[in-house]
Amino acid sequence: MSSWRSSLTRLFEGHRGQLERMVRRRVRDGEAAADIVQDVFARVFKAGSAGSDDDDRRILYAAARNAAIDHNLAAGRRSRALAQLTPEQLATEPATQDDAFAAQETLKALAKALERLPPRTREIFVARRLRGETNAEIAARLGVTVRAVEKQLARGLAQCREALADHLGDDFS
């Protein structure tokens, strides 16, 4: 292990700057690039040597590129999720205990509504609304038309709205 530690130390000293520049170009954030490179070195250290110094160097660069790609994908997902939030969802006041309880009860009502959906409708609804798959992706995976997916989504949404309206009464619009 100590020879691997020595090899990795040499790799770190010789390539850290270049790796950080490469990652910085991809993620456009110097601080994130430094963190990503540090994490890559830690993962490579834990994984062990691939054999030769050249193999270890290639793995290090590939791991850094992949980590930068993963960082950008995660940032994109976060950005899309934040863009879908409404101002009410971004409330700055802490929720009261009553609000938290009411929210839990509403989530339970929604979960029950999802359980009552026909299996195919529930599968499509969950894939679209929770996992963020596109209608085309769902249709291709299930071997149905996009229009069929849209109909199932509309049916599922209507049933969930109805269940929430029953649960919330006049508070739901």
Distance of CA 49 to the CA centre of its chain: 30
Task: Tell me the per-residue pLDDT of 26-68, one tens digit each, with 9 for 90 and over.
Answer: 999 989 999 999 999 888 888 888 778 888 889 899 999 999 9
pLDDT grade, residue 173 (50/70/90)? low
Q: Which domains does the chain have, with CATH numbers?
A: 2-83 (no CATH), 96-171 (1.10.10.10)
Among 8-22, 36-50, 90-104, 121-135, where is mean pLDDT lowest?
90-104
Residue 163 has a pLDDT of 85
For the segment 61-88, what is each residue's pLDDT rounded down to a tens digit?
Answer: 999 999 999 999 999 888 888 888 777 6
Closest CA to 115 of 172, 155, 148, 160: 160
- pTM of the entire predicted model: 0.49
Tell me the pLDDT tens digit for each residue of 107-162.
Answer: 888 889 889 999 999 999 889 888 888 999 999 999 999 999 999 999 999 988 88
DSSP states of 64-129 as a string? Answer: HHHHHHHHHHHHHHHHHHHHT--GGGG--SPPPHHHHHHHHHHHHHHHHHHHHS-HHHHHHHHHHH
* Residue that is written with structure tokens 């700055």 in the block: 92
Nearest to 157, CA basis, from 168, 147, 145, 165: 165
Q: Classify the C-alpha dihedral 88-93-97-100 as positive or negative.
A: positive
